[in-house]
Amino acid sequence: MPLLQMKEIFTPLKLFGIKVFKCKEGYTYVKFWNKPRKKILS
């Protein structure tokens, strides 16, 4: 599995423990609290 480089995107949802990430390939991922990241279907 290739190593993905991700940047965290600031959203107000971060205050509730929901983080949004954007990877170098253009995919968007979401992370809820301490669970693993999941790709958002586009």
- Tell me the pLDDT tens digit for each residue of 1-42: 566 789 999 999 999 999 999 998 889 999 999 999 999 986
From start to end of the chain, where are the E strands?
6-9, 18-23, 28-32, 38-39
- Res 11: pLDDT: 94
Q: Is residue 16 part of a domain?
A: yes
Domain count, the chain: 1
SS3 8: strand
CA distance 25 to 17: 24
CA distance 1 to 9: 23
Q: Is residue 33 part of a domain?
A: yes
Backbone angles phi, psi at 35, to 5 degrees: -90, 160
pTM score of the predicted model? 0.79
Domain span holding position 27? 6-39
- Res 2: pLDDT: 64
Length of the chain: 42
SS3 14: helix
Q: Is residue 1 part of a domain?
A: no
